[in-house]
Amino acid sequence: MSALPIDNKLMLDGIEIAFEPGDTILEAATRAHRYIPHLCWHPEFGAHGSCRLCTVKVNGRSAAACTTRATPGAEVQSHTDELDAGRKTLLQMLFVEGNHFCPSCEKSGNCLLQATAYEMGMEGPHFEEFYPDRPLDASHPELLLDTNRCILCGLCVRASHAEGKDVFAIGGHGLKTRLLIAGASGRLGDSGLSASDRAASICPVGAILPKRRGFAVPIGARRYDLASAAEEIEGPAVEGGAP
Ligand code: SF4
């Protein structure tokens, strides 16, 4: 890696970190092994800026770390009581808006929503549960789609678009915002999605799951059982981005 220009540095929670030209604050933080909570961001794809978990203070103003460019000399606060309380509230709203029954979900232990809730010290839903009854699509021979668990992060949309398929889209407004499947039937089995597509494996929660692989890895030996969401970023193994 070439030497960084001396002024490509900012202060993150009182610690000076370097960034590369074009980095967002979240990319710079991840590059420096500093964890900023996020759900809809993934280093393989462009930022979506929708979940707002990565909201930080930049020179005193609130901004999404995934869409805000790193600038020399910026003072960024990413972990204050106020910011973390806001994150916990957002997580609690996400949990009650869908059906996220972790103990019975195949994604438990591999779920970024669950892992981030642990990070933020969420101990309960706080709000009244919606208990939605959205469609469960089992029409695909290899994949299952449970939209009751979808947090509308848009990662499958971006992944499928990058693969030139555009199987997924997000439509509707407000509480009626939904994940949509391309095609006349709107069923996954009639779409062009393959189990080997990145879009089929990118889901950070248990909304898109492979069939016939339930609990192949036991609870206790799963991704976030081995390293928390923060430890994945802050550990020495990360080079240039989150997994
Ligand atoms: S299905 Fe998964 S990847 Fe797609 S928008 Fe919903 S939560 Fe995100």
Topology given in CATH for the domain delimited by 9-79: Ubiquitin-like (UB roll) (3.10.20)
152 CA closest ligand 1 atom index: 5
Rounded to whole angstroms, what are the CA distances from 222 to 51, 91, 108, 191, 217?
24, 21, 8, 30, 6
**Distance from C-alpha of 180 to C-alpha of 170, rounded to nearest angstrom:** 6
155 CA closest ligand 1 atom index: 3
CB 10 within 8 A of CB 70: yes
159 CA closest ligand 1 atom index: 3
Q: Does domain 86-211 have CATH number 3.30.70.20?
A: yes
CA of 198 to the centre of ligand 1 (A): 12
pLDDT of residue 241: 42
> Which distant-in-sequence residues (6+ apart) come within 8 Å of 62 by Cβ?
55, 56
Q: Please indicate whether residue 143, judged by its CB atom, sits closer than 6 Å to ligand 1.
A: no
CA of 164 to the centre of ligand 1 (A): 18
Rounded to whole angstroms, what are the CA distances from 130 to 19, 25, 94, 231?
42, 34, 10, 32
Residue with tokens 């103003």: 61
Q: What is the mean pLDDT of each run of 10 residues along the chain (243 residues)?
A: 68 97 97 97 95 98 98 97 98 96 95 98 94 94 97 98 97 92 95 97 98 91 96 69 40
pLDDT of residue 122: 96
Could you check whether 9-79 and 86-211 share the same CATH topology?
Answer: no
Ordered by start, the domain boundaries in the chain are 9-79, 86-211
